[in-house]
A and B are shown apart, each in its own frame.
Chain A
Amino acid sequence: MAVFAEIHAVRKHDDTYLQLAKSWSKLTAVLFAVGAVSGTVLSFELGILFPAFMKQFGSVFGIPFALEGFAFFIEAIFLGIYLYGWNRMTRLQHILAGAVTSLGGLASAVFVTTANAWMNVPTGFKLVGNQIVDVDPLAVISSPFVLHEVLHMVFSAYLAVGLGVAAIHGYAYLKSEPGLRTFHRKALSLAINLAIPFALLQPIVGHIAGQMVAKHQPLKFAAMERHYVTESGAALAIGGIVDDEARSLRYAIKIPAGLSFLATNTFDGVVRGLDEFPSADWPNPIVHYSFQLMVALGSLIAAAALWIGYLMIRRKTLAITPFFVSLLAFSTLASFACIELGWIVTEVGRQPWIVYNLMRTVQSVEPLPSNLNAIFGVVCFVYSVLALAVIIVLKRLLFVPHRTVNCKNVKGDSVVLG
């Protein structure tokens, strides 16, 4: 987004956008640092917590990770150049460095999600006894789940950040003195323009994702809908409380043949139910609740995006009212919640498998650390404190007046920006 702001600055000869790019790049610096070091934790934890999984599948699972490593390299190198090179290169070079950083970040996200897609639909190797043979690297990174998982994740990330930035600048707009309002207005509209398309595309990708899950992971799909009996013309249940004893969803609204249509594009398509699988393997009901909540919140966000888009087309300038800002704030929280809910659906929904149909999660954690609870406790504590610290620092960065910095403006003259 900082790069978009900088491109805007050059195209419109507008220093406000340059100031915006600087402000956003500071936020990026803080968030990236915390995220990057946490990325190391992730790769170590794979081994610390799932040694048996890594022993068995490391040679396959690692392929997307190796690619991610390179993407991460490029991202980290050019982020350094971008963040600290404002006055050491031409504006165009600087924008290019920023663009390469974003592409590196995008590629990282793609490869990490690819690794997860592979866990859902493992492809590209053969298991003979306990030995991995015939590894086909291209097949490993083109599991049928890659495309929709990657799009769904990347869209949700751009959407959540776009909305979040818009909401923050909306809030600042309401609080700030008139002189600073143009700054926040420009920031808000740039952010919202980036967010709206993703809000509208996301339900479509989500629908495709659902169909792929129905096809490749019937157990997960059944768990998402808490659909008990294999049948054709299955009804779509909305809401409801899971009752595994009675094998029904209590108090749910049922739309006849709706589920069959969503899953198979025909009203009499067969949807496989939980009854096809041993009940000990059924994923936790939280999958169902998370899925329903994600769809509900996602639909609300899409509706809000439609409405905002309509307003922007109809009027030239957006009226930034307290109601509008609250709507943005709600959508931000909802979109971050959706990301987490979606991961709960895909990860808890895959249980009891870590690699679908090949290795159970229980087998993967052998040998289990004896002090798992202590480790978990320390990690939770450290990350809670860290989250709080990040919020405090970001809040200060956003709302404490910026120290002035010397900088070349869009025409190349030295100016002092606040």
Chain B
Amino acid sequence: MFSDKEFLEPFVAWLMFASVLIYFVLGGRDFGSGIWHGLLRKRPECQKLIESSIAPIWEANHVWLILALVLLFTGFPTAFGEVVVNLRFPLFCFLLATVLRGSTFVFKLYDPATAAWSGFWGSLFAVNSFFSAYFFGVIVAAFIQGDAASSINVFTLFSGFLGVSITGFLSSVLHALEAKDVETKRLFSRAAVAAAAVVVFSALLAGVAANYRVSWFFNNLLFENVISFFANSALLFLSIFFLRKKKYKAALLFAICFTTGFALLVAIAQSPYLVYPGITFSTGAAGPVTLNVLATALTLASPFVIFSFYLLYKLFKGHLFRL
């Protein structure tokens, strides 16, 4: 279906980015919800809300990560081989945390045992949600850092907190919209403001560390697109503004736009490198036939996947957006 190498390499790379992004917004939101589930352990009604909010959709959200991964190792095998060796430690921690959070979440939901057990599964779920979000941030930062430098340093560690706070922010805005009563809505709005403060704080820390560790990236991110960067940051404040005005749908919309925009700016600053400085889209890519297969399969299959996703979200989240 596609044959132009010039088109295919960035196309598949951007598809891969898109699935990481969707994973971060949807799956990351599930991590954030897990963290709030732990922080709000004195409020069973909030925990119930969180559980029913993520139960039907979290597994489907999780598949975006698997898709991104498959695209990476099929479309860019050299980059995958290179990167994964450097990222062994944070990857391993991330995997452990996601396995445990997923498992303990279903145990929490389905185990018909005593309250003590339920609390035990719940706290494991919360702790591992935190580490999933944290190591997701670490992995993205280490990926940006590229080369053989250690994957654990100030830049990656601060980026981990950025991962945690953004997911926490997204989920609290959504729960503020989903909550039925005024008090819970107010509670999650306050949570969102707190999370947004942490987002700003950890972004500053990660930024300073980035300037020191990966100055090429920091320059690209901040100075090449200075207007977009600040415009995007304004979205965060707009989201908070609408939360205060009790316009929850608008707040959620801006929260999602902020996250998407931020990820997009990061990706633009990173391109065309896959692994800095050695591997770019074109040097890391598989042969044109494989890329063509991937691009064709994605183009043909995505209408089905997107339609199925639409059905899923319409069924379980549709009521939020009905006028």
Interface residues, chain A, CB within 8 Å of chain B? 26, 29-30, 32-34, 36-41, 43-44, 46-48, 51-52, 54-63, 65-70, 72-74, 76-81, 83-85, 88-89, 132-137, 367, 369, 375, 378, 382, 386, 389-390, 392-393, 396-397, 400, 402-403
Contact = CB atoms under 8 A, between A and B. Distances in A.
Nearest to A41: B95
B110 A55 contact: no
Nearest to B108: A393
A54 B107 contact: no
Contact of B70 (A66, A135, A375, A392): A66
Q: Which 9 A-B pairs have the closest CB atoms?
A: A62-B74, A58-B77, A55-B81, A59-B286, A47-B84, A37-B102, A84-B56, A33-B106, A59-B290
B152 interface: no
A62 B287 CA distance: 13
A33 B104 CA distance: 9
Contact of A67 (B96, B297, B305): B297
A69 B315 contact: no
A132 to B, nearest CB: 6
Contacts of B70: 43, 62, 65-66, 68-69
Given A65-B74, A69-B67, A77-B312, A58 B286 contact: yes
Given A74-B304, A76-B62, A37 B98 contact: yes
Contacts of B84: 44, 47-48, 51, 54
B31 to A, nearest CB: 13
B187 to A, nearest CB: 25
A146 to B, nearest CB: 17
B291 to A, nearest CB: 8
Contacts of A48: 84, 88, 91-92
B77 A397 contact: no
B290 A51 contact: no
Interface string B183-227: 000000000000000000000000000000000000000000000
Given A88-B315, A134-B289, A136-B289, 12 more contacts: A33-B105, A37-B62, A48-B88, A48-B91, A48-B92, A58-B80, A70-B301, A73-B308, A76-B59, A78-B308, A382-B96, A386-B100
Interface string B28-62: 00000000000000000000000000011101101
A233 B62 CA distance: 54
A322 B218 CA distance: 71
Interface residues of B, number: 58
B113 interface: yes
Interface of B: 55-57, 59-60, 62-63, 65-67, 69-71, 73-75, 77-78, 80-82, 84-85, 88, 91-92, 95-96, 98-103, 105-107, 109-113, 286-287, 289-290, 293-294, 297, 301, 304-305, 308-309, 311-312, 315-316
A396 B135 CA distance: 33
Nearest to B74: A62
A contacts with B: majority SS: helix
B77 A54 contact: yes
Contacts of A402: 112
A34 B110 CA distance: 13
Given A44-B95, A51-B85, A74-B305, A34 B311 contact: no
Contacts of B311: 77, 81
Contact of B66 (A40, A47, A79): A40
Nearest to B78: A55
A133 B287 CA distance: 7
Contacts of B56: 80-81, 83-85
30 contacts: A26-B110, A29-B110, A37-B98, A37-B102, A40-B98, A40-B99, A41-B99, A43-B69, A44-B84, A51-B84, A54-B73, A59-B75, A62-B286, A62-B290, A69-B70, A72-B66, A73-B60, A73-B67, A77-B308, A83-B55, A84-B56, A85-B56, A134-B289, A136-B289, A369-B88, A382-B96, A386-B103, A392-B111, A393-B107, A397-B112
Contacts of A378: 92, 96
Contacts of A55: 77-78, 80-82
B contacts with A: majority SS: helix
Contacts of A78: 308, 312
Nearest to B294: A66
A80 B78 CA distance: 35
Nearest to B52: A84
B103 A137 contact: no
Contacts of A32: 59
B312 A80 contact: yes
A30 B308 contact: no
B33 to A, nearest CB: 15
Contacts of A29: 106, 109-110
Contacts of A72: 63, 66
Contacts of A73: 60, 63, 67, 305, 308
Nearest to B62: A36
Given A33-B103, A37-B99, A400 B73 contact: no
A34 B102 contact: yes
A37 B109 CA distance: 16
A102 to B, nearest CB: 15
A280 B157 CA distance: 47
Contact of A62 (B77, B78, B88): B77
A403 B92 CA distance: 38
A389 B103 contact: yes
